[in-house]
A and B are shown apart, each in its own frame.
Chain A
């Protein structure tokens, strides 16, 4: 058996796990791992400008590819800087592995220089984490970390590497496969539960398929589409589920929830059967829980038992991977043999009702002469990119307008921080996605507030020659918070107005990128074209209607039928 120092074990493990790129920022406590990587020369390292950027970039890489993203940071401040990125990945079930340097084991607990208990700090926001105290255990820990990160309900795993452990030598016995007696996620759903689900579907007259991020995670979009088309049921998606079912499909009702479509929320409120697939009944989706889908029976497919029956009572729980569950369900439907027309006829009155809702209040906005409406920018972006770009978003109104007006047809084309809602996520995530797909068009739709939270990564993108496109919807406001203040706080705009914003065009130029600006509606298309077609990193800034709101909106704590409309 080969003997290796800990630092080299890390590099070997990265190679065996198929990691081709890592995002990081060095420091004294991790310098040895960096040295081992440099000597090895097989792993591309992207030097970020802030460790939060590294974690988000690893996350963006993971979301875009479905593979595990990796980031590296030093001890102390390097480690704490990754925490927001880790929590972001945790909330959205994204597989990343984070390596942090740590002070030597002999100094742990001594308040040593740049010591922080990162394992303690990240315990509640990682799927699992390790402090490696014995180099002999490192090979197994490395294997476990990747396995845990990507299997079951994915999530971030952190490995804290004391400096002495990085240099101690042991046998590198890297297992091909691993089995953990205390961790056995249920993947294969119970056939009986699938049959019970079918019984409910058969009885239903007003079903809805409610699709979440789990469908994207398990690459089950084809199976989902098959299910939806074979029974001709309406489909709605959470923010995280967008792209799991084509947004342009005639059966798509669009997003539901706080800023979902009128039609999706009304359909959900009146359904007699929710078929929930990889979605977790988040409060942004259910609104006031007592008023949520009062007449519905619920089938819930999820790999994580804690997601089931957490917020709502479920009639048929199906624990397992949704790809397998959907396959089984489709098979049962096929064996039943009812032609699509029979289902279609059965659900026709339901569809008539749904179409009426869709017609009554479609997604829309008021056009005003002379001012750029953000929704218009997104519509144009959709047109010009033919819906084929990988879109990342920041957080706030920019994110919601993107979710509403860009029609996502493919999974893994919208990368957005849903659960944590992390401003500053979008741009570094775009860097991660662009690293994975150098030839694809990657666009970060940003707000003027959010983009400033990780703007330093412009330098990273330039250094790596990444042609990320940034669209800034500039309202000179923390717009989403301002909207709440307008609606619920008598327009007292406490701390939401920016009196100073940088000149984003000049800022782009300062980094060596290109900047474009539109201040009138007639400049929008031209500006987008220029920015999208220009080589390399660009910023396109749009001076949008400053007090535009996102509608529909379900006020917090209200029933989802109590929507404020345009």
Chain B
């Protein structure tokens, strides 16, 4: 089962390698990892996507909490949450395909962020499923390069009446 963990960690040198070292040292899986500053500059926020059965996830969360620098760990996939990922895709765009790429961008609400005579670079944001769909559709046209951010996620606010 896939789990998305939200981790708040002290903004200390080495904190990130403690976390990645924990995963490699204990044989846990990291599917994607995203690190960024928070509003409090003494903390960093990590979104970590991992897989494992309930025992493994329980160990992962406990082991993360055991690190001195880790402030808080939440398995946000336990409740409702939104997740987003962004990809930059450099796709071949020559003659007849130029228009087709643009059409696709339109349908999926992607942005063209760079243009060259033979390529478009497009920015696509959304849940993983959307990125997957866009990549699949662009693949036959010819993808030259992709970079992805990895997932970031946030719990939904309780919608009480």
Footprint of B on A, CB under 8 Å? 119-120, 123-124, 127-128, 131, 133, 148, 180-183, 304-306, 309-310
Contacts and interface: CB of A to CB of B under 8 A. Distances in A.
B65 A305 contact: yes
Nearest to A153: B66
Leading 5 A-B pairs by shortest Cβ distance: A182-B71, A306-B62, A128-B68, A305-B62, A183-B68
Interface in B25-72: 25, 55, 58-59, 62-63, 65-66, 68-71
B18 A123 contact: yes
Contacts of B59: 306, 309-310
B14 A182 contact: no
B17 interface: yes
B21 interface: yes
B94 interface: no
Contacts of B14: 119-120, 123, 131
Contacts of A133: 13
Interface of B: 9-10, 13-14, 17-18, 21-22, 25, 55, 58-59, 62-63, 65-66, 68-71
A181 B71 contact: yes
A124 B68 contact: no
A127 B66 CA distance: 9
Given A123-B21, A128-B68, 4 more contacts: A123-B18, A305-B66, A306-B62, A309-B58
Contacts of A148: 68
A119 B25 CA distance: 16
A326 B42 CA distance: 39
B70 A182 contact: yes
Given A182-B10, A306-B59, A124 B25 contact: yes
B21 to A, nearest CB: 5
Nearest to A144: B68
B63 A306 contact: yes
A119 to B, nearest CB: 7
Contacts of A310: 59
Nearest to B25: A124
15 contacts: A120-B17, A123-B18, A124-B21, A124-B25, A180-B68, A182-B9, A182-B68, A182-B71, A183-B68, A304-B66, A306-B59, A306-B62, A309-B58, A309-B59, A310-B59
Nearest to B72: A182
Contacts of A304: 66
Given A306-B63, A309-B58, A310-B59, A123 B17 contact: yes
Contacts of A309: 55, 58-59
A196 B69 CA distance: 33
B10 to A, nearest CB: 5
